A and B are shown apart, each in its own frame.
Chain A
């Protein structure tokens, strides 16, 4: 398998709920809408979704509750059987795997974190974290060592012998995260991992999560209904509505160029300046003469606010990581992002 193959690839995935979904899908017109399907007694949990997740990429799936985020991610791990289409994991259709192969795949490659933690109440922290290792038959000492390692990683050292009920929500979710990391999965599913936590802890856990992600560089599918969270974490964001993906793109693009009115409404309240980076606004130089200090392509417009207001240049040069010139940014355009276009 070459490096270009996406780690997760959904192709025209459908998940319908109802009396006889397979039969119904076979007779369904391809352009049937959500309402259309519902009128016929079915619910489209996932509505013809095609999306790829590359190696090391973090895809954040966003949407209101009931929009099909959780259903989609459960199709990726085959917790749900898809009704139509296919889900490829590293090029292999997981719908075709038999039970043993599927169990094997999960034991080797996948980890998942759940909104309400899904901890086993009768097991200690250590036993919970070691659970996936135990399932694949690792011997007691190895799994203990590995479990202690991840427990340390998520900052719960010293709590190994506690039971879940003895921990706070944030700590319980750390256990959930540790458990999902115990087998060193390549693919990491996180289903609204922080939404059951209160805001302060949530922030702390997000930082923790980013720290882990920088260390581990996994392929991640992350579900949230919190836009700020999505913007903090995502490489790409997929916005879902009624089971379908409305738009899947980089955060800047979603904010700057919403594909549908729904996405536009969704992003309306967002402070664009915090999301959009100078690099996105940069246009090719094309021989224009540039003057003065360049700004970094990775800085957000918000962080450039002072400069944008005080600077007199019409065009501001934008520099890449190593200081090379990548383009120029129209100051007016940047100001529009910062202050709103005034229309």
Chain B
């Protein structure tokens, strides 16, 4: 207890120091207020280094070679899916065939409902006149996802085998997972050319980390009995890996695959920013020209695609091999493949004969974009709604966002660093505090301080709002079994949506304003807040709530004294994830028009300013990891105290 309070005291002193520095700002020497703007220097050094890497070391040749291989594969997929004029120069597979095959896969993996979802999704894409865009997007996913899966699997195995590799990979993965996606994009463009190839490289890199982690986790979890049974059966090392470990870790590996697919989709949509055609590019273009009706249609397509891919791959995780009674004929054993083959032949032939089943032309499409636009305009212009959105916009801008932002910008650099260090100290003691101090000082030294503060302001504000709204919601939902189930279903579904989608409702309601940015982040980060709060509350052992009931606690007393304290470590994990999500989202929101790091980063995409891009990107990484470390340390400490 004494050591704990001494910790707390140091943290408090640091916070006091922060306040004092802020109060004395007019008297401070300028260097304590703001460091000089050094970022051009770093950018220059980094550029020189990249130049050396690229040209003198010849890395560019390696990457260009890899790019041509990858480009070839994507072209093949593009030819088959939407008839791009590349080898093997076949005609595109008719949409009806794709939809029917998806339905067969859905039926085989999860029954009629999944068949309907999968087949329906692709039918929707075709009927809405979005087939080509969907297939452009899919052509990258079908190549990037397997690559991501394989590379992730191999790295996962490697990091499981060698603790040295693991210790190297761990920080790299932490950085990769917090790296703003604009920072993925520019190097991809420079080293792998604009377009689908760069998009797929960025996608693969983005999708790999969870695959590595899941593989390693799965392999570590294989029960020792199974391992020893394998050894006593006289397995060689190779046999152990391929026949025992990998099959036994099947579930985790397939969950990794699910993650790879979902992240691939999310990233492919975002690669619209580097000229990748497809659904993302269309959505970006439509939102840019404020054609909200069309945007909504494309948004629905992306969401449907996400849900379909997610459900299919999750069904694969759950799908267990089944045995057939002896004497089952082969055509029943291989029913699924036979049906798929039959469906392929039938619909391809049908498509040849009836053009509608081959391609839905523009005039036939059911798109009602402009009609939606009209309806939406009418609804939004309706006075009561106008009044509400207007008031919210005014209230948040004038009373919340602007004052807090100005306050944050007023704080001298070293005052803020002291505050962050103090906060980290209070959360987790010396180690997180040192990390916080070093990382935030590094942000200051990198030279984008004011923009970094704007980023920090948006993320923290939005996350706090998400907590204020999300936690009561989750607490309410966790009271009834039914509401809990529904809420978790909503969260799980929402979590599969590519982040880009979340901009849409925000723009619809508030147009292009700072409030929109906050709202977009808010919606996006609500998901983990709600999800983990429910999870935490439900994880409280029944005996404890029963004990509280029998002690005569009211609901409120039970919540405050038993459930929340025990759920806190889990809720903290959710909070942490929410913060990481909002660091991600705030960068995308650059598209709406922000003034923070993301905005600068987006600008670099047009050029070759790798150095600048990296200084900006790492400013975000440094801030994100600081919070990550501090909150995790706190959750870990609480968990230990509670003996969980």
Contacts and interface: CB of A to CB of B under 8 A. Distances in A.
Interface string B203-238: 000000000000000000001011111111111110
Given A122-B248, A161-B323, A107 B234 contact: yes
A135 B234 CA distance: 6
Interface in B468-519: none
Interface in B571-585: none
A199 B235 CA distance: 34
Interface string B409-421: 0000000000000
Interface stretch (A9-17, A45-53, A113-121, A272-280): A113-121
Contacts of A115: 225
Contacts of A114: 225, 228-229
A150 to B, nearest CB: 14
Interface of A: 74, 77, 79, 99, 103-104, 106-107, 110-112, 114-124, 131-132, 134-136, 161-163, 165-166, 176, 179-180, 189
Contacts of B244: 120
B228 A120 contact: no
B640 interface: no
B225 A116 contact: yes
Contacts of B223: 116, 118
Interface string B63-90: 0000000000000000000000000000
Interface in B305-323: 320-323
Given A112-B229, A135-B234, A180-B232, 19 more contacts: A99-B236, A107-B233, A110-B232, A114-B225, A118-B223, A118-B225, A118-B226, A119-B229, A120-B229, A134-B243, A135-B235, A135-B236, A161-B323, A161-B325, A161-B326, A163-B323, A166-B323, A179-B229, A179-B233
A114 B326 CA distance: 29
B233 A106 contact: yes
A165 to B, nearest CB: 7
B320 A103 contact: no
| Interface hub of B225, B226, B244, B321 (most chain A Cβ within 10 A) | B225
A197 to B, nearest CB: 15
B239 interface: yes
Interface in B131-171: none
| Interface hub of A104, A106, A122 (most chain B Cβ within 10 A) | A122
A120 B232 CA distance: 13
A114 B227 CA distance: 11
B233 A131 contact: yes
Contact of B248 (A112, A120, A131): A120
A103 B235 contact: yes
A136 B236 CA distance: 9
A23 to B, nearest CB: 21
A162 to B, nearest CB: 6
B330 interface: no
Nearest to A185: B232
A124 B326 CA distance: 13
A106 B233 CA distance: 6
B317 to A, nearest CB: 13
Interface string B280-322: 0000000000000000000000000000000000000000111
Contact of A161 (B227, B232, B236, B324): B324
Contacts of B227: 118
Contacts of B232: 77, 79, 106, 110-112, 132, 180, 189
Contacts of B239: 135
B7 interface: no
A107 B321 CA distance: 28
A118 B228 contact: yes
Nearest to B251: A121
Contacts of A135: 233-236, 239, 243
Nearest to B324: A161
Contacts of A162: 323
Interface in B322-360: 322-326
A103 B240 CA distance: 12
A22 to B, nearest CB: 20
Contacts of A74: 228
Is chain B's binding surface mostly helix, strand, loop or mixed?
A: helix
B637 interface: no
A74 B236 CA distance: 18
Given A112-B229, A116-B223, A117-B225, A122 B250 contact: yes
Nearest to A160: B326
A136 B237 CA distance: 13
Interface in B343-388: none
21 contacts: A99-B236, A103-B234, A106-B231, A110-B232, A112-B228, A112-B229, A114-B225, A118-B225, A119-B226, A120-B243, A121-B247, A121-B250, A122-B248, A122-B250, A131-B233, A132-B232, A135-B233, A162-B323, A163-B320, A166-B323, A180-B232
Nearest to A126: B323
Nearest to A100: B236
Nearest to B240: A135
B215 to A, nearest CB: 16
Contacts of B230: 120
Interface in B33-71: none
Given A122-B247, A161-B326, A163-B323, A132 B225 contact: no
A122 B248 CA distance: 7
A120 to B, nearest CB: 6
The 4 closest A-B pairs by CB, nearest first: A107-B234, A118-B225, A118-B229, A132-B233
Nearest to A105: B234
A138 B619 CA distance: 60
Contacts of B226: 118-120
Contacts of A107: 233-234
Contact of A136 (B229, B234, B321, B323): B234
A123 B320 CA distance: 11
A104 B324 contact: no
Contacts of A99: 236-237
B294 to A, nearest CB: 46
Contacts of B323: 124, 161-163, 166
Contacts of B324: 161
| Interface hub of A74, A117, A131, A165 (most chain B Cβ within 10 A) | A131
Contacts of A131: 233, 243
Given A74-B228, A116-B225, A118-B228, A104 B248 contact: no
Nearest to A136: B234
Nearest to A128: B229
Contacts of B234: 103-104, 106-107, 132, 135-136
B141 to A, nearest CB: 27
B332 to A, nearest CB: 14
A106 B232 CA distance: 6
Contacts of B235: 103, 135
Contacts of B225: 114-118
| Interface hub of B227, B228, B248 (most chain A Cβ within 10 A) | B228
Contact of A163 (B233, B236, B321, B325): B321
Contacts of B325: 161
Contacts of A77: 232
| Interface hub of B227, B231, B244, B247 (most chain A Cβ within 10 A) | B231
Contact of B236 (A103, A112, A119): A103
A95 to B, nearest CB: 15
Interface in B103-154: none
A119 B233 CA distance: 12
A115 B229 CA distance: 11
A79 B228 CA distance: 7
Contacts of A116: 223, 225
Interface string B166-209: 00000000000000000000000000000000000000000000
Contacts of A163: 320-323
Contacts of A106: 231-234
B250 to A, nearest CB: 6
Nearest to B237: A99
